[in-house]
Chain A
Amino acid sequence: MGPSAVSLIDMRRERGYLRDLGRAFAGALVFNIPLLMTMEMWEQGVVMDRWRMLLFVGAGLPLLYGLAYYAGFSDRRGFRNDLLDTAVALAVGFITAAALLVLFGVVQWDATPREAVGMVTLQAVPGAMGALLARKQLSGDGRGDSQEDQASYVGELFLMAAGALFFALNVAPTEEMILIAYKATALHALALIVVSILLLHLIVFQAGFAGQEEADHPAKAFFHFTLPGYAIALGVSLFALFVFGRIDDHSVAGVVQTVVVLGFPAAIGAAAARLLV
């Protein structure tokens, strides 16, 4: 019972946090609406293998913590605060997803727990990502004190993975990914790889991912950021395709083709991570 009752409930502090929370909900909406209105996401919520869904949530939790560390939606810092921010972001993600799926009539009142929990959980993770990115995206003064400015090399790679996952998630569940892979010839796939790496490299430079030292040596930055970034993009796209069952029963060549197709938006996402976070 350290602080007195007066300092325990400080209305100004609560109101300030309410504003942060409002921004978090706005962020969840901005990032999650495309997914909330994607039919395949509803279907996957019902039919996805439960262990894959668990893998998806399990991979999402450390990712959300990482985003809370590098971005977060309040000014506060520290391990405990980042953990709290992660939990709050999940609350925001779940509430947003549940409310909108009910509003859209996708989750109906007589839905089984499997349906309802599956559909909402699948959307809550990207929603929580949006909530954590909200401060940087939606507040004019959000720059400056987020950790991302001092991100280490591993931190930069993590941010690339987060950006890649974010972009990949928006398209991975759709039928179009495998359709494009079916249409693509080997030549198309090779060209897509070249374009992905080229754009990744250019955007990394424009967004200033690479430090000044690397900027003076484009070749060094290419090996330091671009190639690892593309590898991360491919890994993330393989993960997303596996989670959504898009590569089940495909040949190795077919899997590679689809991974390369999804690797394109993932690479753009990895490159744009600096702009998002």
Chain B
Amino acid sequence: MVAKKSSTAPRPLLQWGMAAVGAAVTASAVGVIIWDGLQPAAPPSLSGRILKVEATSSGHVAVIEVANDGDDTAAGVDIEAVLGDQSATATLDYVPGHGQARAYVRFDADPRAADVRVKGWSAP
């Protein structure tokens, strides 16, 4: 019942080219997903550090980079930075496994010496 309309005519090279791209990209994506799925899943391991401090009109803003050395993604990551008797908090939606995300905390004084802590997170 398949109407073999023009199926014997030569195909456009473009069709072959695009089909090759599609097959290659799909196979690579499936490969990465399988490889990723086979990795042992270690729980999130989070650490934060101050990347830099920017002086703004509303105080000093510390740019904090939170890195996740674990395999699993952490959601709702709570970050606290403490400088003397002032503390500032921020929440990151996600920190992917073996990835990083940035947060910003505001201080009155220069927070270069602030202590950065990751307080907790939830499973996504």
| Chain A residues near B (Cβ < 8 Å) | 3, 7-10, 13-14, 16-18, 21, 43, 46-47, 49-51, 53-54, 57, 61, 74-81, 84, 86-92, 94-95, 110-115, 117-118, 120-121, 124, 145, 147, 150, 152
Nearest Cβ distance between residue A52 and chain B, in whole angstroms?
Answer: 9
Contact B22 A77 (CB under 8 A): no
Query: 29 A-B pairs, CB-CB below 8 angstroms?
Result: A14-B12, A46-B94, A50-B33, A50-B34, A50-B37, A53-B33, A54-B33, A57-B29, A57-B30, A57-B33, A61-B26, A77-B7, A78-B2, A78-B7, A80-B7, A84-B15, A84-B19, A86-B22, A87-B20, A88-B22, A90-B26, A91-B18, A91-B21, A112-B96, A114-B97, A117-B32, A117-B36, A118-B33, A118-B36
Known: A47-B124, A76-B5, A114-B96; 16 extra A-B contacts, CB below 8 A, are: A8-B10, A43-B93, A47-B75, A50-B33, A53-B33, A54-B34, A79-B2, A80-B7, A84-B16, A86-B22, A88-B15, A88-B22, A91-B21, A112-B96, A118-B36, A147-B2
Nearest Cβ distance between residue B86 and chain A, in whole angstroms?
Answer: 31
Contact B3 A147 (CB under 8 A): yes
Q: Per a CB cutoff under 8 Å, which of A8, A74, A111 touches B99?
A: A111
Residues of chain B lying within 8 A (CB to CB) of residue A50: 33-34, 36-37
| Complex CA–CA separation, A50 to B22 (angstroms) | 21
Contact B36 A114 (CB under 8 A): yes
| Complex CA–CA separation, A87 to B23 (angstroms) | 5
Contact A92 B18 (CB under 8 A): yes
Residues of chain A lying within 8 A (CB to CB) of residue B18: 21, 87-88, 91-92
Residues of chain B lying within 8 A (CB to CB) of residue A7: 10
Contact A16 B12 (CB under 8 A): yes
- Residues of B65-122 at the interface with A, using a CB-CB cut-off of 8 Å, are 73, 75, 93-94, 96-100
| Complex CA–CA separation, A80 to B15 (angstroms) | 12
Nearest Cβ distance between residue A4 and chain B, in whole angstroms?
Answer: 11
Nearest Cβ distance between residue B100 and chain A, in whole angstroms?
Answer: 8
Residues of chain A lying within 8 A (CB to CB) of residue B22: 86-92, 94
* Given A17-B15, A81-B7, residue A90 in contact with residue B98 (CB < 8 A): no
In the complex, the 3 A-B pairs of residues with the closest C-beta atoms, listed nearest first: A91-B22, A78-B7, A50-B37
Residues of chain A lying within 8 A (CB to CB) of residue B75: 47
| Complex CA–CA separation, A113 to B21 (angstroms) | 19
Contact B37 A51 (CB under 8 A): yes
Which residue of chain B lies nearest to A11 when distances are taken between CB atoms in the complex? B12
| Complex CA–CA separation, A95 to B32 (angstroms) | 17
Nearest Cβ distance between residue B53 and chain A, in whole angstroms?
Answer: 21
Contact B14 A17 (CB under 8 A): yes
Nearest Cβ distance between residue B44 and chain A, in whole angstroms?
Answer: 11
Is B25 engaged at the interface, CB distance under 8 Å to the other chain? yes
| Complex CA–CA separation, A96 to B96 (angstroms) | 24
| Complex CA–CA separation, A112 to B97 (angstroms) | 8
Residues of chain A lying within 8 A (CB to CB) of residue B37: 49-51, 54
